[in-house]
Amino acid sequence: MNFLDQIWLIPLFPLLGAALMFFFGRRLDPQPQSDVAIAPGVEPIYDEHAHGHSHSHGHDHGHSHSHDHDHGHSHSHDHDHGLAHGHHNHSPLKFLIKLLCPGMVLLSFIFSVGAIWQLSEKAPRIHELIQFTWIAGLPFHMANGQMATFQMDWGFLLDPLSSVMILVVTGVGFLIHVYATGYMDHDNGYYRFFGYLNLFVFFMLMLVLANNYALLFVGWEGVGLCSYLLIGFYFQKQSAADAGKKAFIVNRVGDAGFVLGMLLMMSVLGSLRFTDVNAVLHSGKFTAEAAGFGTLSVIALLMFVGATGKSAQFPLYVWLPDAMEGPTPVSALIHAATMVTAGVYMVARSAALFQLTPSTSGVVATVGAFTAILAASIALVQNDIKRVLAYSTVSQLGYMFLAAGVGAYWVAIFHLFTHAFFKALLFLCSGSVIHSLGGEQDMRHMGGLKDKIPITHWTMWVGSVAIAGIPGLAGFFSKDEILWQAFSSPLGGPVLYGVGLTTAAMTAFYMWRLMNMTFYGKSRVKPEVAAHIHESPASMTAPLTLLAIGSVLAGWLGTPKLWNLPEAFRSFEAWLEPMFASPLVEAAKEGGHDTSTEWMLMGLSVTIAVAGIFLARYLYHIKPEIPDRIEASFKPLHKVLYNKWYVDEIYDFLFVNGLCKGGGLLAGSFDRNVVDGGVNGAGWLTRFSSSVSIWWDTWIIDGAVRFGSFFVKMLSYPVCILQTGRVQAYAFFVVIGALVFFGYYVVR
Amino acid sequence: MYPITTVHYLALSAALLLIGTVGVLTRRNIVIILMSIELILNAVNINLIAFSHAAGNVRGQVFAIFVIVDAVAEAAVGLGILIALFRNKETVLADEIDLLKW
Amino acid sequence: MLTDTLLFYAFALITLVGGVLTITRRNAIHSAISLIVSLLGVAGLYLMQQAEFLFAVQIVLYVGGIMVLFLFVIMLVNLDQAAKQRQFNRQWLVALAAVAVVAAEIAYFMYRGAGSIHIAEAAVPGTPAGIGNTEMIADSLFGEYLLPFEIASVLLLVAVVGSVVMAKKRI
Which pLDDT score is estimated for C127? 56
Which pLDDT score is estimated for A719? 83
Contact list, A727 vs chain B (CB under 8 Å):
94, 97
Is the per-residue pLDDT at A68 higher than 70? no
Q: How confident is the model at residue A45 (pLDDT cuts 50, 70, 90)?
A: very low
Which pLDDT score is estimated for A427? 92
Which pLDDT score is estimated for A260? 93
Nearest by CB to residue C140, choosing from B12, B62, B91, is B62
Dihedral over alpha carbons A114, A117, A122, A125 (to 10 degrees): 100
Which pLDDT score is estimated for A564? 73
Cβ contact A234:A73 at 8 Å: no
Phi, psi for A521 (deg, rounded to 5): 80, -165
Span of A452-456, A545-549, A668-672, B58-62 with lowest mean pLDDT? A668-672
Q: Does A725 touch chain B (CB under 8 A)?
A: yes
Is the per-residue pLDDT at C54 higher than 90? yes
- Asked if B94's CB is within 8 angstroms of A728's CB, the reply is yes
Q: How confident is the model at residue A72 (pLDDT cuts 50, 70, 90)?
A: very low
Distance from CA of A689 to the nearest CA of B (A): 45
Residue range A396-404: average pLDDT? 91
Which pLDDT score is estimated for C62? 93
Give, in order, the Cα–Cα distances in Å from A600 to each of A214, A471, A499, A563: 45, 14, 17, 13
Question: Would you call A581 exposed, middle or buried from its count of C-beta atoms within 10 A (0-12, 13-18, 19+)?
Answer: middle
Q: How far apart are CA A206 and CA C52, in angstroms?
A: 127
Residue type, A280: V
3-state SS of A30-92? CCCCCCCCCCCCCCCCCCCHHHHHHHHHHCCHHHHHHHHHHCCCCCCCCCCCCCCCCCCCCCC
Nearest CA in chain A to C113: A746
Nearest by CB to residue B101, choosing from A723, A728, A731, is A723
Residue type, A53: H
Which pLDDT score is estimated for A79? 43
- Report percent pLDDT > 70 for chain A: 88
Span of A496-510, A515-529, A579-593, A648-662 with lowest mean pLDDT? A579-593
Helices (H), A146-212: 160-183, 190-209
Helices (H), C25-145: 28-48, 52-57, 68-76, 80-83, 92-113, 118-122, 133-139
- Residues 85..104 of C with a Cβ closer than 8 Å to A: which? 89, 91, 94-95, 98-99, 101-102
Nearest by CB to residue A727, choosing from B26, B94, B102, is B94
- Asked if B100's CB is within 8 angstroms of A723's CB, the reply is yes
Task: Give the start-end residues of each E strand in A109-267.
Answer: 127-141, 147-158
Which pLDDT score is estimated for A592? 52
Distance from CA of A718 to the nearest CA of C (A): 18
Cβ contact A188:A94 at 8 Å: no
Is the per-residue pLDDT at A69 higher than 70? no
Q: How far apart are CA B97 and CA A54, in angstroms?
A: 95
- pLDDT tens for each residue of A330-386: 988 887 777 778 999 999 998 888 888 888 888 899 999 999 999 999 998 888 999
Which pLDDT score is estimated for A292? 60
- pLDDT tens for each residue of C113-141: 887 776 555 555 555 666 788 888 998 89
Residue range A705-713: average pLDDT? 89
- pLDDT tens for each residue of A165-179: 999 999 999 999 999
Contact list, B5 vs chain C (CB under 8 Å):
114, 117, 121
- Asked if A736's CB is within 8 angstroms of C98's CB, the reply is yes
A324: nearest Cα among A395, A249, A233, A255: A233
Distance from CA of B62 to the nearest CA of A (A): 27
Give the angle subtended at the CA of C95 by the CAs of C93 and C101, to the nearest 5°. 105
Is the per-residue pLDDT at A627 higher than 60? yes
Is the per-residue pLDDT at A474 higher than 70? yes
- Asked if A725's CB is within 8 angstroms of B97's CB, the reply is yes
Which pLDDT score is estimated for A389? 92
Dihedral over alpha carbons A74, A533, A538, A166 (to 10 degrees): 20
Residue range A487-512: average pLDDT? 87
Which pLDDT score is estimated for A50? 39
Q: Does A729 touch chain C (CB under 8 A)?
A: yes
Which pLDDT score is estimated for A633? 79
Which pLDDT score is estimated for C130? 66
Give, in order, the Cα–Cα distances in Å from A632 to each of A626, A627, A628, A711: 10, 9, 6, 104
Which pLDDT score is estimated for A44? 45
Give all chains having 3 or more CB-to-CB distances under 8 Å with chain C: A, B
Residue range A633-656: average pLDDT? 80
Instruction: Please say whether the dihedral angle defined by the alpha carbons of residues A201, A394, A654 and A253, taken in this order, is positive or negative.
Output: negative
Is the per-residue pLDDT at A505 higher than 50? yes
Span of A133-147, A711-725, A726-740, C12-26 with lowest mean pLDDT? A133-147
Tell which of A721, A722, A739 to mutate to test the C interface (max C CBs under 10 Å): A739
Is the per-residue pLDDT at A531 higher than 80? no
Which pLDDT score is estimated for A584? 55
Q: How confident is the model at residue A738 (pLDDT cuts 50, 70, 90)?
A: very high
Distance of CA B49 to the CA centre of its chain: 16
Which pLDDT score is estimated for A640? 80
- Asked if A725's CB is within 8 angstroms of B100's CB, the reply is yes
Q: Does C77 touch chain A (CB under 8 A)?
A: no
Is the per-residue pLDDT at A38 higher than 60? no
- Asked if C98's CB is within 8 angstroms of A735's CB, the reply is yes
Give, in order, the Cα–Cα distances in Å from A691 to each of A678, A685, A699, A700, B5: 19, 10, 12, 13, 83
A181: nearest Cα among A95, A107, A260: A95
Nearest by CB to residue B7, choosing from C114, C123, C139, is C114
Residue range A279-293: average pLDDT? 69
Q: How confident is the model at residue A75 (pLDDT cuts 50, 70, 90)?
A: very low
A351: nearest Cα among A156, A559, A593, A578: A578
Span of A203-207, A738-742, B88-92 with lowest mean pLDDT? B88-92
Which pLDDT score is estimated for A585? 56
Give, in order, the Cα–Cα distances in Å from A259 to each of A253, A280, A304, A588: 10, 20, 11, 31
Contact list, A725 vs chain B (CB under 8 Å):
97-102
- Asked if C106's CB is within 8 angstroms of A742's CB, the reply is yes
Secondary structure letter of residue A211 according to DSSP? S
Which pLDDT score is estimated for A74? 37
Q: What is the pTM of this model?
A: 0.63
Cβ contact B56:B101 at 8 Å: no
- Asked if A725's CB is within 8 angstroms of B101's CB, the reply is yes
Phi, psi for A692 (deg, rounded to 5): -60, -45
Nearest by CB to residue C91, choosing from A729, A743, A745, is A729
3-state secondary structure of A155: strand
Which pLDDT score is estimated for A35? 44
Span of A378-382, A592-596, A646-650, C143-147 with lowest mean pLDDT? A592-596
Nearest by CB to residue C123, choosing from B4, B46, B55, is B55
Q: How confident is the model at residue A151 (pLDDT cuts 50, 70, 90)?
A: confident
Secondary structure letter of residue B94 according to DSSP? G
Is the per-residue pLDDT at A33 higher than 50? no
End-to-end CA distance of chain A: 113
Q: Which residues pair with A212 in a beta bridge?
A: A273
H-helix or E-strand spanning residue A372: helix A358-379
Nearest by CB to residue C91, choosing from A728, A742, A746, is A728
- Report percent pLDDT > 90 for chain B: 63
- pLDDT tens for each residue of A431-455: 999 888 888 888 888 888 888 888 8
**Count of C-beta atoms within a 10 Å radius of residue A24:** 16
Residue type, A672: R
Q: How far apart are CA A19 and CA C58, in angstroms?
A: 112
- Asked if B102's CB is within 8 angstroms of A728's CB, the reply is no
Distance of CA A153 to the CA centre of its chain: 24
Q: How confident is the model at residue C70 (pLDDT cuts 50, 70, 90)?
A: very high
Which pLDDT score is estimated for A49? 39
Instruction: Indicate the average pLDDT of chain A.
Output: 81
Dihedral over alpha carbons A117, A123, A125, A128 (to 10 degrees): -100
Instruction: Say if residue A315 is preceded by a cis peptide, omega within 30 of 0.
Output: yes
Residue range A93-120: average pLDDT? 87
Cβ contact A296:A357 at 8 Å: yes
Distance from CA of C114 to the nearest CA of B (A): 6
Give, in order, the Cα–Cα distances in Å from A700 to each of A454, A521, A690, A713: 91, 94, 14, 19
- Asked if C16's CB is within 8 angstroms of B35's CB, the reply is no
Nearest by CB to residue A739, choosing from C89, C102, C108, is C102
- pLDDT tens for each residue of A214-260: 999 999 999 999 999 999 898 888 989 989 988 998 999 999 999 99
Which pLDDT score is estimated for A593? 60
Nearest CA in chain A to C102: A739
Tell which wins on pLDDT, A660 or C164: C164
Cβ contact B41:C58 at 8 Å: no
- pLDDT tens for each residue of B77-102: 999 999 998 888 888 888 888 888 87
Q: How far apart are CA A248 and CA A540, in angstroms?
A: 29
